[in-house]
A and B are shown apart, each in its own frame.
Chain A
Amino acid sequence: MAVAPRVRVDGVGKRYEGSNGPVQALDGVSFDVADGEFVCIVGPSGCGKTTLFRIIAGLEPATTGRIVLDGARVDGPSTDLGLVFQEYHLFPWRTVAGNVGFGLEQEGVAAVERERRVRELLELVGLDGFADTYPRDLSGGMKQRVALARALAVDPGLLLMDEPFGAVDAQTKKMLQDELLDIWQETGKTILFVTHDVEEAVKLADRVVVMAKEPGRVREIVDVGIERPRERSDDAFGATYQRLLDLI
């Protein structure tokens, strides 16, 4: 018997009224993500990646179709879905520890236990020693680590990331990618990762969902199947990269 997928994106369509009549932003988008899998969504700008992200996150309703997470239909944001945005969206009035502990506070986790878990998470993302720092004093890469720790704190079934490394410099980006892979392997999380960077997708993903635009739809789902750690200079890396580029 096949194991039920962690996430099922099932015939998702999105239509809205634009200034020049109705726009079909997404049409019949379907794919599954298995438990513990790392899936990237890539596509040209305007293919509805971010709209799809918002629908999966429960932040926007789909016009047609549905999102099923662990057998239950997603009908709004919840702690089952951990969100990480390109612009971090940290709570500026809270310290690093305050941000990471936010979800635990809502769950009513006692202060001592909360502190212990916040410390563990900060260690996991390499920010031990920054617990009492405010976001304004952090670099972009550090802010994104805080956002990741904050999302992981409530132990979501799916980690949803929307171009999380799109706003940092190339060197920081590479470092954060390596760290994310480490964290993924350490925690066994299921990750759905939206990006427009094909190289990033080849480096990170088990499978890549390639989207096409007008209307936004799935063009192909590509198995990457390269041993990690992956190097850009490997032949297999280059071949997959080229194949994805041709699809987009």
Chain B
Amino acid sequence: MAIDVSEDVDHTTDTLGGSFADVDAKRAVRGLGGLLAFLLVWTGASLTQPAYVLPSPLVVAETFVAQAASGEMFVALGNSVLHWIPGAVFGTGLGVAAGIALAWSPYLDDVASPVVRVLRPVPPLALIGFAIAWFGINHAGAAFVIAVGAFWINFYATYGGVEGVSEDLLDVARSLGVEGDLALIRTVVVPASLPEITTGIRTGIGRCWMLVVAAEIFGVAGIGRRILRASNNLQVDVVITYILVLSLTYLVVDVAFRALQRRALSWR
């Protein structure tokens, strides 16, 4: 009721705002419809299949609640977060730093280019052997695999952003007393390429969550491990439960980061 009133006020005072609200409401209704249709098809399909092939949404919901109530869900999530965070932080930090350095310095770019080209196509999972040998079957090993994935996404996003920084802005900065590479990078290059850098970070965060599952293949505890174990036991309801945990966690992190990004880029 209160919402209805405020929308009416929108219509009278600001037709533009009102029409945007209408569009938002329409889209939300459509989205909800899509979700319901999906659940309906899922339920229908589950009726024709045994539970170990496809459990119904209701069964999954029950399992979800049970996993949450027993605390097992939060232990798994906590374990995954413990390698997701260091992996994402190190991979992002090094990727952004390397992207800035190589895009800024033609000399470094020339030196590093052959190595970059050889290493670039290596999938992070192919490095699991190194992760085990260098770090062991633990959070650090899993974090390493995740960091490699985050590194390349951030490296290329940052590289592209820095390459696109206007030479004229750099000239202006020099004429206003900015001297030296580091000062120019700090005052012009980083703020000017922040849109590309933050988009890279955001893409990287998503990729890191995918890698969390993969990185746990070799035995590190977490959501991915939990999914693999449940798969081996044909507990499809548990598999779906943890897939949902992964999706929801990603959604929360992504929405939070997007809010931060909007704020940092409010000048655009």
Contact = CB atoms under 8 A, between A and B. Distances in A.
Nearest to B191: A93
A92 B195 CA distance: 12
B166 A79 contact: no
Nearest to A107: B177
B267 A92 contact: yes
B268 interface: yes
Interface string A67-88: 0000000001111011101010
Interface string B168-198: 1101111111100001000110011010000
Interface-centre pick from A81, A82, A91, A136 (highest chain B CB count, 10 A): A91
Nearest to A79: B177
Contacts of B168: 85, 87, 89
Interface residues of B, number: 20
Nearest to A80: B175
Nearest to A54: B171
A154 interface: yes
B268 A136 contact: yes
B172 A81 contact: no
A103 interface: yes
A106 interface: yes
Nearest to A106: B177
A134 interface: yes
B267 A154 contact: no
Interface string A45-81: 0000000000001110000000000000000111101
Interface in A168-197: none
Given A89-B166, A150-B176, A154-B177, A83 B171 contact: yes
Secondary structure class of chain A's binding surface, majority of residues: loop
Interface in B246-268: 266-268
Contacts, number: 65
Interface in A103-118: 103, 106-107
Given A89-B168, A91-B169, A77 B174 contact: yes
Contacts of B187: 102, 106
Contacts of A87: 168
Given A85-B168, A87-B168, A92 B174 contact: no
Contact of B192 (A57, A93, A103, A106): A93
A3 B183 CA distance: 38
A6 interface: no
Ranked 8 nearest A-B pairs via Cβ: A103-B176, A106-B177, A77-B174, A77-B175, A93-B191, A134-B267, A79-B177, A83-B175
Interface of A: 57-59, 76-79, 81-83, 85, 87, 89, 91-95, 102-103, 106-107, 134-136, 150-151, 153-154
Interface of B: 166, 168-169, 171-178, 183, 187-188, 191-192, 194, 266-268
28 contacts: A57-B175, A76-B174, A77-B174, A79-B175, A83-B175, A85-B172, A89-B169, A89-B171, A89-B172, A91-B169, A91-B172, A91-B191, A92-B267, A93-B192, A93-B194, A93-B267, A94-B191, A94-B267, A95-B267, A103-B176, A103-B177, A106-B176, A106-B177, A106-B187, A107-B177, A136-B267, A150-B176, A154-B177
